[in-house]
């Protein structure tokens, strides 16, 4: 995620960091070059001149507006829902910690070493691992999440869990088992268990919702239809403009192509909000937030600082 | 569901798999042919020349934009809600498994053969059957779901259930009965039962919501109004264009018709997200996900792999 | 609700059943006749000629697009929310049945005659009556609902309930009383009662939501503003077109009027989704679904078949 | 709220009751008069002629469409959410009554005089007062609500409550106190209290949501921006039209101004749905509904009739 | 938040307070000045004349409408969701107070001094501190919140809490601890604790949702794309208009620029609803509301008055 203040009017046109330009410059260059050629030849190829006029572009503008407007909204909705789900994960983790501390009977030992011996403290600690595991799953970095997950759970548990196909769910089952232990040892009243259980279910829901966003793209036929129409529009546009505005054709074509390709590419990034792209969600920073809050709840003193943007980017 | 990466700009125009073209080529061909004829005759039939100009198309564009934009949004909403409901089914199944394992008293036997003897393990196993049964119901493949459902429930139960008109609900009633058994044998505290009961209710809700989407299409009058307007627009368009852009008429007509027919046909597919079409939801893959996760919870070792797309299509 | 497959392109223009045409033909005829007259006289009345040009229609198109787009969305939202509420009623009824069977202590007698003697079975049976009563209330057929409601509740109860102004709520109070009886006789644990109580509250919510949709139309001032603008637009349009497209004026006017009047009339129907119109919700079929499912839960064998469309219409 | 059937096409143009016309006629008259003057002088002032053409209006139409469309949707959403909240109040009141009657132990006396002696019956009766108090608060008629509220609560309580700044919340605290009394006297099981408590919380939520709608208008800057643009558009329009359509300018200007001013004024009314305006919500009728239903639950016989529209208006 | 009545038509154009003009006047002046220069030189620079015509602006209007419409909706949604979250905080605080008073066993002492000795009264008092702490966190005024927070919690607690990185969450953990104390001293039945616990979780959710809105802006690439397009549009517009409307160019350019820059700047403010700007949410007034209501619940008599707007602004 790019984090920077809105620049002044003048600098607005020279900012590259955070702009979509670097990713579309080639398409933009091709379409502008074509516009230059069309302007040069006045739209004539051999003896034929293509009299497009601007009428077709007004007509094609109608479906294109529907496509672009819809795609844009759908992609942003996915982005925003992804963020909402992680916000839900943050708040459910915080509530889970509060519940474990206040509802389970208090023979809590403050010394950090024994944290993994008490089931209800284990649940809090494991919730940190859960967030990291979900991040790795969503970003496809299943390979080496040891450094992030292993410190928060017992050694044996990590061995057991890491080979599972769905690591977050395996951790969730362990949390359920610890909840059962609290119940059966009488440290948690049966009337209070549903509250903690509901928090666990909500965290399960976050994972499934994120997987939904990740696994179900906007229908491919739709994307294809949009791309084709947008490309045709941009590549035919110079023929339509050259008779009216002459040598200004490349400028106007470039502006229009910039907006269309830019909107399209931005949609591509927002559509997959969990990827580690410039416009992706800052999952690492969000995991850090959970880590800080839950370690605060556990009474830790030496907390890591919140993640800050590097070169305007929060990862 | 079509799963493939966005192709490069060049290949974009030659992709057929996942494109809506194969399903609209006939309409497209007819309307383009008409445009060719109109261009050839210069819009004259006998001694009459139809002076349409483009004015009517600007006027007709207004209601058409409303129709297409609305239909498109409504169809996608149905698709996305369908996916959300199945995401809900996945997460509720996972939570149900966790709850059965952690809240019901633990005299669980790990050996797989006895799984159907313990009521709380039976519930987990039956949840797999529930997902398959719902899929068959939504896809209308009620005929031969034995292979998918029978392995997960007891022999006698399947005999009893298969003749019911609403198989998923019959399975749900059996789950309720098993929950009652856990309660009455004292293995589940009455304070904890509502949590499991809520998961069952949520799974009931998924089924009813999916039936709602399947059984209540976008109002037929609406579809008819849209189709008629779109067809009239596309078939009259060449008459309006021929005076302005001459022999380019067929090209522009074809592009416009492609977007309109394409959007319309895509809407038809998204409107019924449970059908086994290219743009339908991958219900089989989703059922497989549930199967893997719930068998993990039950401690199974030899799990099937997740379903992968065949020829870019996930079914 | 009209249920029929999308017709082929050719038949598309000749379908009457399900089309909005029969309800707007008079307005359409009047406006087309006017267009013919205008074309005949070339827009001259006496010595005055009305030089409208198409400019005013572009300007009026802007607010009209806002009106029609908004009205259309609002009306469809009402329709779809109505359907959602009935889907909610279906699923809550199913869950209620499951809960009554699994959570209330089991001295259930399978013989159908005594069904109304057991409070928890009475609740299930009464839920069928509730759906029918709500349907009659929403459709304004309060007069003679005896045949639908009376069989599902005790004779005395029906006498007591039928004179109430709000029959569904009176039935709901009876369900609450039966829930209280289960509680006080010790057949239902106090910890389990909230689950059933929540189902009853959800069914209460469905009734109130449906009454909201029925009793609160889209603001009348809005409808008036839209109607006036649309009529003015359609009746003035021929004057604007006749100079440009001559004798094609009636054709184009008729097409535009068809879309505007059609969209408007369709909105009128969708706005009140509980009326027994072509585009109304099939409340009878939905009640039948509830009846089948709840009688299945009660163990009935001779179930009625689901309602099927007659002449493409599901009522 | 205006309640009347859609008039026939002819009467459509002569209806005043429910139309927005009476509230915008002055603006409409001014702008039409200006259009007449412009037409008379042919857009010339002294020796200058303002050659506006229609181009600027197409350009200004773009932001105006965004403003009007957005404002319109936002205002209607506020209206509809206000109605939803009151629907929620109705259903929660009904559920609260059912819960008090079925979950609290039954030594209920049917004689109406003692109704205020039993805490659980007092809660039901007080819920009627709550609805009235909320209505008075939202409509700003805090002055004299005695007649509506006092009959439903004990004399002493009303003296205590009426001086509070937030009367509905004071009543809510009294309901909570009565719930506590039921608990402590053992007439309500602790497991059942959360259900009633949740109903009270939901009724608290309704009040806070309605206060939100009432206290937080659509941002003033936005309204100002919209008003200014719409006025400029309407007052400049005649200059742009006069060259094209001559003496028809006043007619077209009046139509466009009617739609813009009408939409704007309607938005003003819908934006504040609790005001006692023509397009406000019928809070009195909704309070009457609650009163009837809750008195039915209490066993009252002589119920007041539902409120009916007077001169097409439900207040 | 600006609170003022809609001004009359005449005063509408001379209001500055609440208008967006003061913040965009420089951009507006620059673009109008440019328009004057272009009009003066008739679009000629040296010997070149830029024949833009209005065609490019129609084409650029399409993506611009999508950008502006989307941005506008997204920004307002953030604003409105922010307000909803604070409404949720208000209602949850009220419900929490009611629950603490009615569900916890009553050995309450009415004398205000001992308020911080009773855990359940401490929770109510601390809820006031929670609202203030959240406000300071969202507005970035972490520096000196002593005066707002300290009076509502015990001296020692404030010392402990103020050094935490997340003050609201630290307060929330203290509330959880007090809930645990009520449970363990037997003053709160275990069946009733989940209701209070749910209120605490909901208040946790409010904080996380507000942080989400504050910490995750609309993607920067999007904002950049919109700004660039809008600026280009406004600065090129005079070249397109000068041939058609001559010396009216500066007027029309200024109007269009006013709407675009105004909409853009308003979006900037609404996008960050918690900032203390003219269009920000009145967090101080909302905190005061919570303070008044909760102190009423605690039985305080000398309550502060609600905050009123100063110079039409509620802070």
Q: How would DSSP label each residue in A77-114?
A: HHHHHHHHHHHHHHHHHHHHHHHHHHHS-S-----GGG
Residue A219 forms contact with B (CB below 8 Å): yes
CA distances from A74 to A224, C45, E69 (A): 15, 52, 14
Residues of B in contact with C61 (CB under 8 A): 59, 62
C289 and C205 housed in the same domain: yes
Percent of chain E with pLDDT over 70: 95
Residue A31 forms contact with E (CB below 8 Å): no
D56 and D186 housed in the same domain: no
Tokens 């929670």 map to which residue? E130
Q: At B170, which helix (H) or strand (E)?
A: helix B167-184
Contact E197 A194 (CB under 8 A): no
Give the per-residue pLDDT at E65: 86
Give the per-residue pLDDT at B20: 84
In a domain, E309, yes or no: no
Q: Specify the pairing of strand A44-45 against strand C48-49.
A: unpaired
Give the per-residue pLDDT at A142: 67
Residues of B in contact with C286 (CB under 8 A): none
B247 and B119 housed in the same domain: no
Q: CB of D128 within 8 A of CB of D92?
A: no
Q: CB of D71 within 8 A of CB of D63?
A: no
B40 and B139 housed in the same domain: no
Query: Does residue D108 carry a pLDDT above 60?
Result: no
Chain segment B99-151, per-residue pLDDT in tens = 999 999 866 555 545 677 889 999 999 999 999 999 999 998 866 678 889 99
Residues of A in contact with E221 (CB under 8 A): 2, 18-20, 262, 266, 269, 278-279
Mutation target for C interface from B142, B189, B228, B272: give the one with most C CBs within 10 A.
B228
Q: CB of C6 within 8 A of CB of B268?
A: yes
Average pLDDT estimate for E147-165: 90
Mutation target for B interface from A137, A217, A225, A236: give the one with most B CBs within 10 A.
A225
Phi, psi of D2 (to 5 degrees): -85, 130
Closest chain A C-alpha to B88 CA, distance in angstroms? 8
The residues, any chain, with a CB within 8 Å of residue D297's CB and separated by 6 or more, are C173, D94, D97, D98, D101, D124
Percent of chain A with pLDDT over 70: 95
How many CB atoms are closer than 10 A to CB C107?
7
Question: What's the residue count for chain D?
Answer: 315
In a domain, B308, yes or no: no
Question: Which stretch of A220-224, C153-157, C221-225, D14-18 has the lowest confidence by average pLDDT?
Answer: D14-18
Provide the token pair at A99.
Answer: 């519940």
Closest chain C C-alpha to B146 CA, distance in angstroms? 21
B176 and B28 housed in the same domain: no
Give the per-residue pLDDT at E246: 86
Give the per-residue pLDDT at D163: 87
B34 and B101 housed in the same domain: no
With CA atoms as reference, report the closest residue to A52 among E43, C198, E275, B249: B249
SS (H, E, C) E163-177: CCCCHHHHHHHHHHH
Provide the token pair at B88.
Answer: 């809900």
In a domain, B88, yes or no: yes
With CA atoms as reference, report the closest residue to E124 among E302, E292, E284, E283: E292
Nearest CA in chain B to A61: B256
- Residue E107 confidence class, pLDDT cut points 50, 70, 90: low
In a domain, E234, yes or no: no
Give the per-residue pLDDT at C176: 96
Contact E231 A9 (CB under 8 A): yes
Q: Is E236 exposed, middle or buried (0-12, 13-18, 19+ CB in 10 A)?
A: buried
Average pLDDT estimate for B263-291: 93
Give the per-residue pLDDT at A98: 97
Chain segment C111-129, per-residue pLDDT in tens = 545 677 889 999 999 999 9
Mutation target for C interface from D70, D86, D94, D229: give the one with most C CBs within 10 A.
D94
D58 and D160 housed in the same domain: no
Average pLDDT estimate for B202-222: 95
Q: Cα separation of D148 and D126, whole Å?
A: 11
Residue range of the domain that includes C157:
88-217+282-297
Contact E51 A246 (CB under 8 A): yes
Give the per-residue pLDDT at C127: 97
Give the per-residue pLDDT at B85: 98
The set of chains that have 3 or more CB pairs under 8 A with C is B, D
How many CB atoms are closer than 10 A to CB D105?
16
Chain segment E87-100, per-residue pLDDT in tens = 999 999 999 999 99
The set of chains that have 3 or more CB pairs under 8 A with B is A, C
Closest chain D C-alpha to C8 CA, distance in angstroms? 34
Q: Per the structure, how many domains does chain C have? A: 2
Query: Does residue E36 carry a pLDDT above 60?
Result: yes
In chain A, residues 186-205 whose CB comes closer than 8 Å to chain E = 189, 191-192, 194-195, 199
Give the per-residue pLDDT at A146: 80
Contact D68 C64 (CB under 8 A): no
Most confident among A37-51, B257-271, D201-215 (mean pLDDT): D201-215
Question: Would you give the end-to-end CA distance of chain A in angstroms?
Answer: 6
- Residue C144 confidence class, pLDDT cut points 50, 70, 90: low
Question: Which stretch of A20-29, B146-155, E12-21 has the lowest confidence by average pLDDT?
Answer: E12-21
In chain C, residues 115-174 whose CB comes closer than 8 Å to chain D = 164-166, 169-170, 172-173
Percent of chain A with pLDDT over 90: 61
B91 and B209 housed in the same domain: yes
Contact C190 D192 (CB under 8 A): yes
Residues of C in contact with B58 (CB under 8 A): 54, 58
- Residue E204 confidence class, pLDDT cut points 50, 70, 90: very high
Contact C259 B60 (CB under 8 A): yes
Give the per-residue pLDDT at C109: 52
In a domain, C8, yes or no: no
C209 and C259 housed in the same domain: no
Greater pLDDT, C253 or A16 = C253
The residues, any chain, with a CB within 8 Å of residue A156's CB and separated by 6 or more, are none
Q: Cα separation of D1 and D270, whole Å?
A: 10
In a domain, D309, yes or no: no
Contact B221 C252 (CB under 8 A): no
Residues of E in contact with D27 (CB under 8 A): 9
Residue D112 forms contact with C (CB below 8 Å): no
Contact C102 B208 (CB under 8 A): no
Mean pLDDT of chain D: 90
In chain C, residues 241-260 whose CB comes closer than 8 Å to chain B = 241, 244-246, 248, 252, 255-256, 258-260
Give the per-residue pLDDT at E182: 94
Mean pLDDT of chain A: 90
CA angle D36, D42, D48 (to 5 degrees): 125
Chain segment B55-70, per-residue pLDDT in tens = 889 888 888 888 889 9
- Residue B274 confidence class, pLDDT cut points 50, 70, 90: very high
Q: How would DSSP label each residue in chain D?
A: -B--PPPPTTGGGT--TT-SHHHHHHHHHHHHHHHHHHHHHTTEETTEE----SHHHHHHHHHHHHHHHHHHHHHHHHHHHHHHHHHHHHHHHHHHHHHHHHHS-S-----GGGGGGSHHHHHHHHHHHHHHHHHHHHHT--S--HHHHGGGS-HHHHHHHTTSS-HHHHHHHHHHHHHHHHHHTTSS-TTTHHHHHHHHHHHHHHHHHHHHHHH-PSPHHHHHHHHHHHHHHHHHHHHHHHHHHGGGHHHHHHHHHHHHHHHHHHHHHHHSTTSSSTTS--HHHHHHHHHHHHHHHTT-SSPPPPP--BTTB--
Closest chain A C-alpha to E295 CA, distance in angstroms? 25
- Residue A21 confidence class, pLDDT cut points 50, 70, 90: confident
Q: Cα separation of E215 and B65, whole Å?
A: 36
Establish how many alpha carbons lie within 13 A of residue A191's alpha carbon, considering only the half-sphere containing its beta carbon.
17
How many CB atoms are closer than 10 A to CB E44?
12
Give the per-residue pLDDT at A106: 67
Closest chain A C-alpha to B122 CA, distance in angstroms? 18
In a domain, A173, yes or no: yes
Contact D51 E266 (CB under 8 A): no
Average pLDDT estimate for A64-82: 93
SS (H, E, C) B218-268: CCHHHHHHHHHHHHHHHHHHHHHHHHHHHHHHHHHHHHHHHHHHHHHHHHH
In a domain, E132, yes or no: yes
- Residue E51 confidence class, pLDDT cut points 50, 70, 90: confident
C136 and C247 housed in the same domain: no
Residues of A in contact with B79 (CB under 8 A): 219
Query: Does residue E179 carry a pLDDT above 60?
Result: yes
Q: CB of B281 within 8 A of CB of B274?
A: yes
Query: Does residue C210 carry a pLDDT above 90?
Result: yes
Closest chain E C-alpha to A158 CA, distance in angstroms? 29
With CA atoms as reference, report the closest residue to A211 among B90, B206, B281: B90
With CA atoms as reference, report the closest residue to B62 among A226, C239, C256, D68: C256
How many CB atoms are closer than 10 A to CB D33?
12
Query: Does residue D66 carry a pLDDT above 80?
Result: yes
Provide the token pair at B96.
Answer: 């149900």
Give the per-residue pLDDT at D100: 96
Give the per-residue pLDDT at E298: 93
Chain segment A117-139, per-residue pLDDT in tens = 889 999 999 999 999 999 999 99
Strand partners, E48: E45
B205 and B284 housed in the same domain: yes
D51 and D88 housed in the same domain: no
Q: Specify the pairing of strand B48-49 against strand B44-45.
A: antiparallel
Give the per-residue pLDDT at E10: 73
How many CB atoms are closer than 10 A to CB E264?
24
Query: Does residue A305 carry a pLDDT above 80?
Result: yes
């Amino acid at each position: 995620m790019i984090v920077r203040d809105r620049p002044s009017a003048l600098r607005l046109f020279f900012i590259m960091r955070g702009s979509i330009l670097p990713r579309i410059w080639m398409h933009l260059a091709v379409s502008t070059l074509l516009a230059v050629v069309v302007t040069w030849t006045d739209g004539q190829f051999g003896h034929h001149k293509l009299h497009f006029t601007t009428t077709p572009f007004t007509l094609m503008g109608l479906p294109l507006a529907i496509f672009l407007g819809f795609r844009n909204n759908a992609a942003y909705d996915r982005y925003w829902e992804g963020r909402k789900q992680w916000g839900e994960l943050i708040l459910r983790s915080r509530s889970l910690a509060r519940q474990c501390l206040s509802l389970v009977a208090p023979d809590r030992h403050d010394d950090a070493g024994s944290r993994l011996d008490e089931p209800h403290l284990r649940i809090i600690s494991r919730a940190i691992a859960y967030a990291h595991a979900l991040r790795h799953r969503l970003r496809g970095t299943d390979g080496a999440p040891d450094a992030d997950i292993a410190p928060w759970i017992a050694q044996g548990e990590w061995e057991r869990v890491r080979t599972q196909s769905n690591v977050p769910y395996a951790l969730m089952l362990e949390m359920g088992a610890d909840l059962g232990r609290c119940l059966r040892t009488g440290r948690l009243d049966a009337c209070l268990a549903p509250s903690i259980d509901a928090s666990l279910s909500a965290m399960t829901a976050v994972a499934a919702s994120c997987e939904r966003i990740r696994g179900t793209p906007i229908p491919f036929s739709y994307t294809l239809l949009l791309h084709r129409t947008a490309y045709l529009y941009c590549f035919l546009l110079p023929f339509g403009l050259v008779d009216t505005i002459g040598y200004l054709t490349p400028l106007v074509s470039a502006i229009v192509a910039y907006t269309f390709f830019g909107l399209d590419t931005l949609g591509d990034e927002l559509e997959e909000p969990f990827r580690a792209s410039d416009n992706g969600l800052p999952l690492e920073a969000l995991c850090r937030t959970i880590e800080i809050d839950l370690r605060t709840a556990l009474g830790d003193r030496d907390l890591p600082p919140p993640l800050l943007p590097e070169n305007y980017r929060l990862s």
